[in-house]
């Protein structure tokens, strides 16, 4: 039988993995993938709390997940558009080589 602790453990492990990926990758696409993994781990945690919680409003966790998925999709679209624009002007998407705002 799966309990709340199982889902929280999976969510915490995915969040830590996403954090490590986001902080260690030099490529902008890799950083975005790490951020998406962190957002999905939060979704797992919210659904688990909604499922196992004793509340009159159990649908609230699912509503938050829908909002997070919407924000993640918009974030991915904007970030990929920025990555394409930066690649066209600088011919790289390496994060440490981007200095567009320097004078």
Q: Which domains are delineated in the chain?
A: 4-93 (1.10.287.3510)
Tens digit of each residue's pLDDT (9 = 90 or more) over 20-29 = 999 998 888 8
> Within a 10 A sphere around the Cβ of 41, how many other Cβ atoms?
20
The SS3 call for residue 100 is coil
Place of tokens 């492990």: 13
Give this prediction's pTM: 0.81
Confidence check: pLDDT of 6 > 90: yes
Phi-psi region of 29 (alpha: psi -120 to 50; beta: other; left: phi over 0): alpha
What b-and-e string marks burial along 64-80, b requiring 16 or more CB atoms within 10 Å of the CB?
A: bbeeeeeebeeeeeebe
């Amino acid at each position: 039988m799966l309990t709340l602790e199982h889902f929280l453990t999976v969510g915490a492990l995915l969040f830590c993995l996403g954090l490590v990926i986001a902080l260690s990758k030099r490529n902008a696409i890799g950083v975005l993938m790490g951020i998406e993994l962190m957002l999905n781990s939060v979704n797992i945690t919210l659904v688990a709390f909604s499922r196992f919680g004793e509340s009159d409003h159990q649908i609230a966790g699912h509503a938050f997940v829908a909002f997070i998925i919407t924000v993640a999709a918009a974030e991915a679209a904007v970030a990929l558009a920025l990555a394409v624009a930066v690649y066209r002007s600088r011919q790289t998407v390496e994060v440490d080589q981007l200095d567009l705002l320097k004078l």
